[in-house]
Amino acid sequence: HASLSIMGKKAVRTGLKRFKGDGNKTHAPSKPIGKNASFHRSGRWAVLKKNGGKWPVAKKVAKDDKASKKAPRFYPGEDVPKPFDRRNVAKRAKLRDSITPGTVLILLAGRFRGKRVVFLKQLESGLLLVTGPFKINGVPLRRINQAFAIATSAEVSVAGIDTSKFDDAYFAKPKSKSVKNADGFFAAETQKQELSADRKNDQKTVDTKILDAVKKTEFMRPYLNARFSLSKGQKPHAMVF
Amino acid sequence: LSFIYFKTMVFTRFVEVGRVVVINFGPDAGKIATIIDIVDGKRVLIDGPQSVTGIHRQVIGVRRISLTDIVVAKLPRNSTQKNLLKAWTEQNTLATWEATAWAKKTKAKAARANTSDFDRFKIMVAKKQKSKIISDKLAQLA
């Protein structure tokens, strides 16, 4: 007997049918070889049946009548590369479990590297809103990237602080007007932006509450004032923060 | 056990039934146990007792353990955990171990490794204060 695995489905079924129906009598199963069997097995019979006995014909695509269109008046001399469509929108970074409102973070990069600051909340862009407090270490309300911060186990209570008015738009840089003439281009354009009174007031409002909380823990104020650094023999990967 | 040829023995810590050992290697590293039987030249049978040290009854290679000075006296070979625990409580073995400099050093090392950033800051301040007191006193004496 040929093994069931090489026979086509239909051949097996018909073979079995005959086998089942006839009780004890043994019958040879239908032949797995032959033009008919291979036609069925290849799936071409199934295609014919689906298409009503005829072979399916590919749909004709209507050709664009190019002769009717006029050549454009202008086209670039060289092929301009077209950039790909970017549909990937970066998601807001997941906040580490170790970072909760009030956590003391160590900043690792930027102007205030090494400073210990208090975390307030995560903004829509994924950046973290932190504050020094300004009176302690000179760090204002600022956005930082989670990747450049170490979360320590120390915490300061930030309960009751309203951070709803702070978002990415609050921190957006004002668009500077581009100077067109040649003189202006080389002139010292850096005009020191005076910090608005609003910003200073916001800083004060947030910081007074934090300062009260800092007072309650001994050594917290000098701790936030001090900068973090590694000394000889200290390995950050082996240290507990 | 000791064949005293000389006034002092070269070796003082022996692999014997009742010897308290520190496990050096493996998942139980740092914990102590008692030798309750010897398998062969390279292996011993140890037991915590489990309720005290956390080590289950097991065969361990002699290379994975360090012998201590402490011996649980009069421990019969292959004693049950109940008897071992009884011997430990009667002889205050755990207290004897924790009084040793070895145990204290291990504990201090573990504590130091677990200090948080804030703790490290506070320790630094305390050290500075201490050295100030000393240097002030020294300046007084000079």
Q: What is the pLDDT of residues A97-155, one digit of tens each?
A: 999 999 999 999 999 999 999 999 999 999 999 998 999 999 999 999 999 999 999 99
- The answer on pLDDT for A188 being more than 60 is no
Q: Half-sphere exposure (CA, 13 Å, Cβ side) for A72?
A: 4
**Neighbour count for residue B14 (Cβ, 10 Å):** 12
- Residue B45 contacts residue B78 (beta carbons within 8 Å): yes
**Neighbour count for residue B88 (Cβ, 10 Å):** 23
Chain A within 8 Å of B138 (Cβ-Cβ)? no
- Is ipTM over 0.85? no
- Residue A155 contacts residue A207 (beta carbons within 8 Å): no
Chain A within 8 Å of B115 (Cβ-Cβ)? yes
Residues of chain A contacting residue B115, judged by C-beta atoms under 8 Å apart: 240
Question: What is the per-residue DSSP string for chain A?
Answer: ---GGGS-HHHHHHHHHHHHHTTT---PPPPS-SHHHHHHHHTHHHHHHHTTSS---PPPPPPP-GGGSPPPS---SSPPPPPPP----PPPPPPPTT--TTEEEEE-SSTTTTBEEEEEEE-TTSPEEEE--HHHHS--SEEE-GGGEEEEEEE---TT---TT--TTTTPPPPPPPP-SHHHHHS---PPPPPPHHHHHHHHHHHHHHHHHHHHSTTHHHHHHSBP---TT--GGG---
Q: Looking at per-residue confidence, does A220 or B7 come out higher? A: A220
Tell me which residue in A152, A238, A239 faces B118 most closely, judged by beta carbons. A152
pLDDT score of A174: 77
pLDDT score of B22: 97
Residues of chain A contacting residue B121, judged by C-beta atoms under 8 Å apart: 219, 222-223, 226
Of the pLDDT bands very low, low, confident and very high (cuts 50, 70, 90), residue A72 is: confident
Residues of chain B with pLDDT under 70: 1-7
A150-165 average pLDDT score: 92
Distance from CA of A168 to the nearest CA of B (A): 30
* Closest by Cα among A52, A179, A203, A56 to A130: A203
B120: closest chain A residue by CA: A241
Q: Looking at per-residue confidence, does B74 or A53 come out higher? A: B74
Label residues A50-74 b or e (16+ Cβ within 10 Å = b).
eeeeeeeeeeeeeeeeeeeeeeeee
Best of B114, B119, B121 to disrupt the A interface (most A CBs within 10 Å) is: B121
Integer distance in angstroms from the first to the last C-alpha of chain A? 74
pLDDT score of A191: 64
User: Distance between alpha carbon B107 and the CA centroid of its chain, in Å?
Assistant: 10
B123: closest chain A residue by CA: A219
Q: B118 vs A104: CB contact, 8 Å cut-off?
A: yes
A53-72 average pLDDT score: 76
**Neighbour count for residue B65 (Cβ, 10 Å):** 21
Query: With the CA atoms of A128, A133, A138 and A143 taken in that order, what torsion angle do they form, in degrees rounded to the nearest 10?
Result: 10
Label residues A224-237 b or e (16+ Cβ within 10 Å = b).
bebebeeeeeeeee
d(CA A213, CA A161): 11
Q: Half-sphere exposure (CA, 13 Å, Cβ side) for B12?
A: 5
Best of B109, B114, B119, B120 to disrupt the A interface (most A CBs within 10 Å) is: B120
d(CA A16, CA A18): 5
Best of A98, A115, A150, A152 to disrupt the B interface (most B CBs within 10 Å) is: A152
- The answer on pLDDT for A9 being more than 60 is yes
pLDDT score of B86: 95
Chain B within 8 Å of A104 (Cβ-Cβ)? yes
- The answer on pLDDT for A221 being more than 90 is yes
Distance from CA of B63 to the nearest CA of A (A): 27
Q: How far is CA A151 from CA A167, A225, A230, B70, in A?
A: 22, 16, 16, 43
Residues of chain B contacting residue A154, judged by C-beta atoms under 8 Å apart: 116-118
Beta pairing class for B32-38 and B43-47: antiparallel
**Which residues, other chains included, contact B65 with Cβ-Cβ below 8 Å and sequence gap of 6+?**
B21, B22, B23, B24, B33, B44, B46
Of the pLDDT bands very low, low, confident and very high (cuts 50, 70, 90), residue A30 is: low
Distance from CA of A231 to the nearest CA of B (A): 12
Residues of chain B contacting residue A152, judged by C-beta atoms under 8 Å apart: 116-118
